[in-house]
């Protein structure tokens, strides 16, 4: 807790820990959105048709110039809640024009497209998503948005602390490594991938279903050397809530850490970091 740079982050962590211990009957969690009960229906109102995989339950949405096949919560998180934009007391951690973004756990590519729009014509997005069905949706979304597609590069890989082949259970957006899984997924160390490709990231987003600490360990050289802005999902375990900031600080002590929460339930806590 001492590593968090402001009192709102520290108070939020205390509330999240209390929520997990006592439950929603005794502790309420905040959301960035002033009225999430209003903004979620607004996301649904942007639906323009069915997705191409009815069994997956995706729908087609039109958000300004971007057409996205996704679920309503994807649209709400990206365009209304703006989950990967942190702004508080003059501190801003977000994708800016010209950024080179690593979208780790890209799911349907909805975050990749919003990052591509924010990074602009001089920016770049590398989207990592190992699940075949999700990659099919990403590719359809890129085809729907040719003006942004040239900035997005898709990699069918999971990020980890070593190169192995893992079994994944296909849980939709919550696909994760499991001994009971049926889909073989190749992994990479991000440090190796950076050395091989020459990509220099300036912003890293991670939502990799509980593998964040392993992915960070595999990214240590990249974080130490390039000091990118970070937006790391921290809600998958209690160990992540309290341990991700110390892990990053042990790699690169120049980071300042901020915490925010984006729903009124236990999911979607994000740790932001900037040097």
Q: Which residue has the higher pLDDT, 47 or 179?
A: 47
Instruction: Work out the average pLDDT over 158-182.
Output: 67
Instruction: Work out the average pLDDT over 255-275.
Output: 94
CB-based contact 61:71 (threshold 8 Å): no
Is 90 exceeded by the pLDDT of residue 182? no
Q: Among 2-6, 38-42, 64-68, 120-124, which is the least confidently predicted range?
A: 38-42
- Characterize the bridge pairing of strands 203-206 and 176-177: unpaired
Within 8 A by CB and 6+ apart from 238, the residues are 17, 20
Which letter does DSSP use for residue 98 in this model?
Answer: T
pLDDT tens digits, residue range 131-165? 888 999 999 999 999 999 999 999 999 999 988 77
pLDDT score recorded for residue 254 = 97
pLDDT tens digits, residue range 50-85? 999 888 889 999 999 999 999 988 999 999 999 999
Tell me what percent of the residues of the chain surpass a pLDDT of 70: 90
Q: Among 36-45, 76-85, 195-204, which is the least confidently predicted range?
A: 36-45
- Characterize the bridge pairing of strands 124-128 and 152-155: parallel
- What's 19-61 look like in SS3? HHHHCCCCCCCCCCCCCHHHHHHHHHHCEEEECCCHHHCCEEE
pLDDT score recorded for residue 264 = 82
Instruction: Work out the average pLDDT over 20-39.
Output: 73
Tokens of 90: 């003059």
Mapping DSSP to helix (H, G, I), strand (E, B) and coil, where does residue 195 land?
Answer: helix
pLDDT score recorded for residue 184 = 81
CB-based contact 109:58 (threshold 8 Å): no
Per DSSP, the residues of 151-197 read TEEEE--EEESS--EEEEE--GGG-EE-TT--EEEEEEEHHHHHHHH
Cα dihedral sign, 105-234-101-116: positive
pLDDT band of residue 32 (cuts 50, 70, 90) is very low
pLDDT score recorded for residue 53 = 85
Distance of CA 103 to the CA centre of its chain: 7
pLDDT score recorded for residue 165 = 75
pLDDT score recorded for residue 241 = 95
* Predicted TM-score of the model (pTM): 0.92
CA distances to 82, 128, 134 from 166, rounded to whole Å, are 31, 15, 17
Domain 83-274 sits in CATH at: 3.40.50.150
């Amino acid at each position: 807790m001492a590593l968090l740079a402001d009192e709102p982050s520290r108070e939020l962590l205390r509330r999240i820990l209390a929520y997990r211990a006592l439950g929603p009957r005794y502790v309420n969690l905040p959301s960035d959105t002033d009225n999430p009960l209003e903004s979620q229906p607004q996301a649904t109102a942007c639906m323009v048709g069915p997705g191409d995989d009815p069994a997956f339950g995706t729908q087609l949405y039109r958000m300004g110039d971007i057409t996205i096949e996704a679920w309503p919560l994807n649209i709400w998180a990206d365009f209304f809640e703006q989950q990967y934009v942190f702004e508080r007391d003059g501190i801003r951690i977000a994708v800016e024009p010209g950024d080179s973004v690593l979208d780790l756990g890209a799911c349907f590519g909805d975050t990749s497209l919003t990052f591509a729009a924010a990074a602009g014509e001089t920016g770049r997005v590398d989207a990592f998503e190992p699940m075949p069905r999700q990659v099919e949706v990403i590719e359809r979304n890129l085809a729907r948005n040719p003006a942004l597609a040239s900035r997005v590069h898709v990699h069918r890989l999971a990020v980890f602390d070593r190169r192995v082949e893992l079994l994944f259970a296909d849980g939709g957006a919550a696909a994760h490594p499991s001994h009971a899984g049926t889909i073989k997924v190749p992994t990479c160390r991000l440090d190796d991938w950076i050395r091989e490709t020459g990509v220099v990231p300036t912003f890293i987003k991670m939502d990799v279903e509980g593998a964040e600490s392993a992915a960070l360990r595999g990214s240590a050289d990249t974080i130490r050397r390039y000091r990118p802005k970070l937006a790391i999902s921290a809600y998958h375990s209690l160990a992540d809530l309290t341990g991700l900031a110390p892990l990053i600080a042990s790699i690169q002590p120049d980071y300042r850490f901020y915490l925010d929460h984006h729903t009124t339930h236990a999911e979607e806590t994000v740790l932001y970091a900037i040097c």
